[in-house]
């Protein structure tokens, strides 16, 4: 006897709907490798309906005073807390994530981020009004951009949805968001939460809409004539495609496209503490994090000691079932991602050495062992390209100059970290590292008040912070004559 698959649906104009043509795709639990739900495979008719709903709702939502939008977001944050166990269950099934870690590491920051943007709604900033030409007064208006087409990734489906909808709604925009085709469940649940709040407070239903589907669905959203802005978190290839599609009608684009974070460890570092923190920051979420500490550069004088300690930490790091509280991470998200990570290991050059891990774990699901690879050179594929898995690479550098050269010597520029007791060195490195974030003696903490975003092929635009809020607004100059 087979178990019936759960039926997920789009959320358009306050209603849950199947795709107009009835097409669906199966959603697989990566911890088991088995389908647990179906989701709509949305096409042009569905995208049209969602965009029409968002467009119709925009004028009323735009014209609300900020305090009213703040009330909505604060109520949404409260509802996230009230329904936290539902969100945790959905995300754990979505991604195979350990339940305890979703509860402790995702729900609290998501709620905090929504509340931060609720406050940001009332803190619109701009230059002061004044007379910059005799006889005329100038003022600056900061306005919402309009309908936002947003595409979220599969590594943090819930949290990335929050990073997108919270600043957009706070600024007065309306939203059509598409989760990844492999992880739609938690975003559909978020639609139910936000929809109920909008209904309770008497706001238009089309303010927030969810469309499920694949890459083609995302393309249709980005190319649609209604959105004024397209926002995506995903691969470099996907970001380039979005930028190209959006250029056809000059949509504003917000891109967060991954990273290859250097972790630069100098010889004066407390090795035990650095290894402890770096291993967690490298393996958390199975290394499926664009800021993960997976590219370590170690000064040659401590290289062997550091590698031995890191390999030991990897051997003691556990992956496994969602209900095991000793587990640091769950499976890779999907079969294709497992294949990609395996491919990097299989293609390692002869001079590379696997110090720990390097293989799939278990007979079902997409689990991969915590892995350490040493002996690598700067131009090796695994150093240059994003693995997006629980694989930490180690290189040995001679001096600060070489550390900077190798750290910056990749196409990505999202995040980085420096490990040293020398304050002056830390300051020099933070200046020289060409990355949107530099952590010193830590790696991966994020706060709502500070921006997250990179340079080069890591994309442009900021998430979180007032800078992230500003990205969802436009600037208008109003000038009036004093004569009449």
Catalytic site residues?
A: 256, 290
Torsional class of 32: left (φ above 0), alpha (ψ -120 to 50), beta (otherwise): alpha
List, in sequence order, the alpha helices (H) in 171-235: 185-200, 215-223
How far is residue 157's CA from residue 444's CA, in Å, rounded to a whole number?
A: 18
Is residue 136 within 8 A of residue 95, CB to CB? The reply is: no
> Cα(first)–Cα(last) distance of the chain, in Å?
81
DSSP, collapsed to helix, strand or coil, labels residue 318 as coil
Please give the Cα distance from 476 to 459 (Å, whole number): 26
* CB-based contacts of 332, cutoff 8 Å, min separation 6: 30, 286, 288, 338, 341, 366, 367, 368, 389
Which helix H or strand E contains 177, and what residues bound it? strand 174-178
For residue 278, give both structure tokens: 């770096």
> Which of 156, 148, 207, 153 shows the shortest CA–CA distance to 179?
153
Sequence-distant (≥ 6) Cβ neighbours of residue 43 within 8 angstroms: 19, 20, 21, 23, 213, 216, 217, 220
């Amino acid at each position: 006897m087979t178990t019936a698959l759960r039926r997920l649906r789009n959320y358009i104009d306050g209603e849950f709907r199947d795709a107009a043509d009835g097409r669906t795709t199966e959603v697989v639990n990566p911890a088991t490798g088995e389908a647990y739900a179906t989701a709509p495979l949305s096409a042009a008719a569905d995208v049209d309906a969602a965009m029409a709903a968002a467009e119709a709702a925009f004028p009323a939502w735009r014209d609300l005073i900020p305090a009213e939008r703040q009330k909505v977001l604060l109520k949404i944050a409260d509802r996230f807390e009230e329904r936290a166990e539902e969100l945790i269950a959905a995300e754990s099934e979505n991604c195979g994530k350990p339940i305890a870690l979703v509860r402790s590491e995702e729900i609290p920051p998501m709620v905090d981020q929504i509340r931060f943007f609720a406050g940001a709604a009332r803190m619109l900033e701009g230059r002061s009004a004044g007379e910059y030409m005799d006889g005329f007064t100038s003022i600056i208006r900061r306005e919402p951009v309009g309908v936002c087409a947003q595409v979220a990734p599969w590594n943090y489906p819930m949290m990335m949805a929050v990073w997108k909808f919270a600043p957009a709604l706070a600024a007065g925009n309306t939203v059509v968001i598409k989760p990844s085709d492999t992880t739609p469940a938690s975003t559909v649940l978020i639609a139910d939460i936000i929809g109920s709040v909008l209904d309770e407070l008497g706001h238009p239903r089309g303010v927030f809409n969810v469309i499920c589907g694949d890459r083609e669905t995302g393309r249709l959203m980005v190319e649609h004539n209604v959105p004024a802005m397209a926002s995506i978190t995903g691969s470099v290839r996907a970001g380039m495609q979005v930028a190209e599609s959006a250029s056809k009608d000059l949509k504003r684009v917000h891109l967060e496209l991954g990273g290859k974070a250097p972790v630069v460890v100098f010889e004066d570092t407390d090795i035990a503490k650095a290894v402890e923190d770096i291993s967690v920051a490298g393996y958390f979420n199975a290394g499926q994090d664009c800021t993960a500490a997976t590219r370590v550069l170690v000064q040659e004088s401590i290289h062997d000691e550091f590698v031995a300690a890191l390999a030991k930490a990897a051997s003691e790091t556990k992956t496994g079932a969602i209900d095991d509280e000793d587990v640091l991470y769950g499976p890779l998200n999907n079969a294709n991602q497992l294949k990609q990570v395996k491919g990097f290991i299989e293609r390692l050059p002869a001079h590379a050495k696997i110090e720990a891990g390097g293989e799939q774990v278990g007979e079902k699901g997409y689990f991969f062992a915590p892995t350490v690879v040493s002996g690598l050179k700067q131009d090796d594929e695994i150093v240059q390209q994003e693995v997006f898995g629980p694989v930490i690479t180690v290189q040995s550098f001679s001096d600060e100059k070489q550390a900077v050269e190798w750290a910056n010597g990749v196409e990505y520029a999202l995040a980085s970290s420096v490990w040293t007791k020398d304050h002056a060195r830390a300051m020099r490195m933070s200046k020289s590292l060409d990355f949107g974030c530099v952590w010193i003696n830590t790696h991966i903490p994020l706060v709502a008040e500070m921006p997250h975003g990179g340079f080069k092929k890591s994309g442009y635009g900021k998430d979180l912070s007032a800078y992230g809020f500003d990205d969802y607004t436009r600037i208008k100059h109003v000038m009036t004559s004093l004569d009449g």
